[in-house]
Structure 1
């Protein structure tokens, strides 16, 4: 008998969604894997692989640790905790730059800029109204890139606003209480603000046209060298889970409710717009090159970005080569 899977809350934020999976027998020895993730709908491929016992059949005994953001998860990842990390694009590249390239992208799971949203007070009706306002984001996270790209597109920079660094779970209350004037984050926190104070808050824009909105999976290169078969089993399981998630909205809703206390309305709003690409292809590389360009402008990266050193293509090449193309020259 072994513990198939369990979610472990990381900090007070996730205490309410602590739960354990069930015991099940296995015909083979299970490989223990710790996965860091956030309670967000883009990971429904993983939810379904967990719910349907697909990871178990792949020989994986997964422990999930929940974090409010990938940026927060990277703080634990940096000290050697966790095996596979799910998060966003910008935090991963920044971690790679700052930690001697001790990070490899193994797949982009989802591309959905509509899930990244700027929510503001109702008297802020256009981007230019943010000038001089207190605007929250999670500094170092993908929404930090969204904030910069959004401001630049409208002729502004961060110098034109007061940036407040907050985690997403406190942003709705901060907006409703008047502590901030707007915030850039991802769903469901934006709609939570509207539900909490509908007379004050509205969604000003999503991230379409500004950033790709990637949700990704990554691991350390040393771990991948030692455990390539585990990584490939995880990718196989995720691809099988993708097929279920795309066709069975009710199963996704039930999983989110049972395991994450996530309301039906949140899943119903996001499920139709999910783009579960699970790939390392030319489109992915082009978006990462745009990210690198922005990071150089922000003095967060120097020189060309070598995607060949950033991605681990071996896993997807062996699991489903149609989802992989060779990384381009440094960009």
Structure 2
């Protein structure tokens, strides 16, 4: 088999969800050549330069599994991309990097997206360039958790009154925690809020510097493991779905539609790989997030890795927009959430994932 036919053959096998041990040696040989030469073999058989793209990712988030796998297993290169991952502590930093031109694609939850549109003070200066959502990469409804220290007198929700509560502000946790407080009729003024990243919360609650951690997986389970029997998971009746959106500036998307499609094809390959090779995917995520493997394994079924643009996404965005208005956090409004969405790349790569009624 010629090198051109072999490359095309491998691409088709991977795209059809058949990453198998029998041809991994061939796959890695092709990838190694790609990395050495800085080019890839297109469907036409022509050698083309890899296209550079920087992606803002959240290094502390389980939802990035497909991105790390696409990078480590060479799926980006197979689709003609030379990807640089800029690791940030949260999606809100990646969103700011997108607006500042540091990255071309940002991975971000729904709350920073709504903040950046409806609160002009969220990022310094007003009138930032318009952006668009072109994919959601996960489905989950149990990512955020609230963990307290039993020896600090916390056994149930009402016990957090008067306590020091750590939360990473400006992220999806704002909406989640505000809904939790409303559920239990607790006022913000009745607790001491500390703005703290998920990584810092681990040591802070271990050392007793804070009483309660409001964070996301895998760090909430990591905290529970570190505290052992002293950890209290404060239950909530909330069923809060989480989005993990792919966002680009309008100007970039209009001039680089091929890159957005290649990026989505790479993520889709990685999601297929996750389903077929869960053990390897878990090891990669544990290494990249610096979280123990047994913690990652215990959480694996809590996230479905699937590309989509759904009515669920629109509903959650609209709910959070109303939440901002209700809490006087907004200085502008959005008439139609669907105007934020670019359906083009998903229509090309994974049209079955589009369930928005248009």
* 1:279 paired residue number: 308
Equivalent residue number for residue 98 of structure 2: 77
Q: For the residues of structure 2 that align with 1:69 and 1:56, how far apart are their CA atoms?
A: 26
**Residue 32 of structure 1 aligns to a residue in which SS?**
strand
Q: How many residues align?
A: 307
CA deviations 1:120-179 (Å, max 9, x no partner) are 112322212222221111111001111101111112232232211111111122222222
| Alignment-derived partner of residue 104 in structure 1 | 132
Q: Distance in 2 between matches of 1:225 and 1:265?
A: 43
Q: CA deviation at 1:195?
A: 3.0
Note the C-alpha offset of 1:230: 0.3
For normalisation by structure 2, the TM-score amounts to 0.79
| Native 8 Å contact 1:121 1:181 kept in 2 | yes
Query: Structure 1 residues 305 and 135 mapped into 2: Cα distance closer, same or farther (>3 Å)?
Result: farther
Query: TM-score, normalised to structure 1's length?
Result: 0.85
Q: Cα distance 1:327–1:192, how it changes in 2: closer, same or farther (>3 A)?
A: same
Q: What is residue 140 of structure 1 aligned with on the other side?
A: 170
Within 1, Cα distance between the matches of 2:290 and 2:149?
Answer: 27
Q: 1:156 — aligned with what?
A: 186
1:155 is paired with a residue whose SS is coil
The structure with the larger Rg is: 2
Unpaired segments of 5 or more residues in structure 2?
1-30, 41-46, 121-125
1:311-322 alignment, distance < 5 Å: 311-322=341-352
Identify the residue that residue 299 of structure 1 maps to in structure 2: 328
Q: Which residue of 1 aligns with 2:238?
A: 209
Q: 2:269 aligns with which of 240, 253, 265?
A: 240
Q: Distance in 2 between matches of 1:204 and 1:31?
A: 47
Q: Equivalent residues in 2 for 1:253-268 (5 A)?
A: 253-268=282-297
1:36-56 CA-to-partner distances (Å, cap 9, x unmatched) read 101222122223322332211
Structure-2 change in CA distance of 1:159 and 1:281 (3 Å): same
Q: Are the equivalent residues in 1 in contact too, given 2:155–2:234 (CA < 8 A)? A: yes
The aligned residue for residue 38 of structure 1 is: 58
RMSD: 2.2
CA drift at 1:89: 1.0
Cα distance in 1 between the residues matched to 2:95 and 2:333: 24
Match for residue 192 of structure 1 among 200, 216, 222: 222
Q: Secondary structure at 1:140's aligned position in 2?
A: coil
CA distance in 1, matches of 2:87, 2:258: 24
Post-superposition Cα deviations, 1:16-49, rounded to whole Å, max 9, x if no partner, equal xxxxx97343332111000110122212222332
Give the deviation of 1:259 after TM superposition. Answer: 4.5
Equivalents in 2 of 1:258, 1:151: separation in Å? 34
- List runs of 5+ in structure 1 lacking aligned partners: 1-20
